[in-house]
A = this chain, B = another copy of it.
Amino acid sequence: MIALACDVGGTNTRMGLVHEGLLLTETVAIYRNDDFADFYAVAAAYLARAGQASVDAVCIALASVTTAEGATLTNRDWTIERGRVLTGCRAERVEFINDFEALGFSLGQAEKLRTRRLAQGDGGTKGAPRLVLGAGTGFNAAAWCPSLFDGVPHVVAAECGHMTLALAGAEEFSLQEALSRINGRASVERALSGNGLVSIYRWQCAREGVEPRFDAGADISRCAVAHSDDRCLAAANVFLRLLGRLAGDLALAYLPYDGVYLAGGVTRALAPLLESGPAFRQAFGAKGRMAGLMERFPVHLLSDDASALHGCAEWMRLSAAAR
């Protein structure tokens, strides 16, 4: 059985072939969406190049609310319809899943993913949940939970980017005021996203009474990692503190005794600070009398670009096994 896994982002689309529920990593290709009129054109180009006239199934992960009939991308004017995918890919089945749901399913094949360990924890508990969370264009998380009874995993999908951002103390209260100015409310992704990093940086500049030099999250994270700008570095450390606190809060919500995985473009851009500095780690563990519990969770950086494709593969494996 050959299937097609697709990870459709706002900028790029990744595709790969899946055989018996495993991604064939050597078949993974990446396309710039700007070079194509629509999703169907990308899929046609990929399948032609792969010499694949038809596939048994297609699984499409994307940052969107999905239904069985299709989805519209959040950050691009692309609608993907079930019927047109079936025809265009000569496929028997098509499934749409949310991008973080796909990352959640990928944790069922965590041994296949490129990761880096940030904290050893107690080494991980087999059969326990795993959690993936990440800051990129937005923020979200998903938990992978193997059943207590038959071992079949379940993934808890979420909209964690819209939760209330938990801030504490006078300094962060002033940040909350700044973040709430536009919408009257500071959600998680108001701070923990690319734009969020820019907001934190502007607030940092305003506090120090200096003019902001940067407009893009990528520039701020680059200068922070290079230690070439004090305001960028300060903003990045506030970001990592808030990320650590939230990662700790979400660990308390899902108890991922088999590992917390940090994903997302901003998280990865700040990886050197995440590894070398105390900001994330201290905030992650600062849960009062639960501090000992927090030390149990292994923490990993998920740096595999094909994670969502592995998640599509795992989804298809489980779905085929259930049929």
Could you tell me which A residues sit within 8 Å of B by CB distance? 129, 141, 143, 145, 147-150, 152, 154-160, 162-168, 173, 176, 180, 183, 185-187, 245, 248-250, 252-255, 286-290, 293, 318-319, 321-322
B156 close to A145 (CB less than 8 A): yes
Q: Within 8 Å CB of A183, what residues of B?
A: 288
Bound Cα distance A5, B272 (Å):
51
Bound Cα distance A162, B163 (Å):
16
A255 close to B322 (CB less than 8 A): no
B180 close to A168 (CB less than 8 A): yes
Q: Within 8 Å CB of A149, what residues of B?
A: 152, 318-319, 321-322
Bound Cα distance A180, B288 (Å):
11
B162 close to A287 (CB less than 8 A): yes
Q: Within 8 Å CB of A158, what residues of B?
A: 252-255
Q: Given contacts A129-B156, A168-B176, are A253 and B163 in contact (CB under 8 A)?
A: yes
Q: Given contacts A158-B254, A168-B176, are A185 and B288 in contact (CB under 8 A)?
A: yes
CB distance from A244 to the nearest CB of B (A): 11
B150 close to A322 (CB less than 8 A): yes
Q: Within 8 Å CB of A145, what residues of B?
A: 145, 154, 156
Bound Cα distance A321, B149 (Å):
8
B185 close to A286 (CB less than 8 A): yes
A252 close to B160 (CB less than 8 A): yes
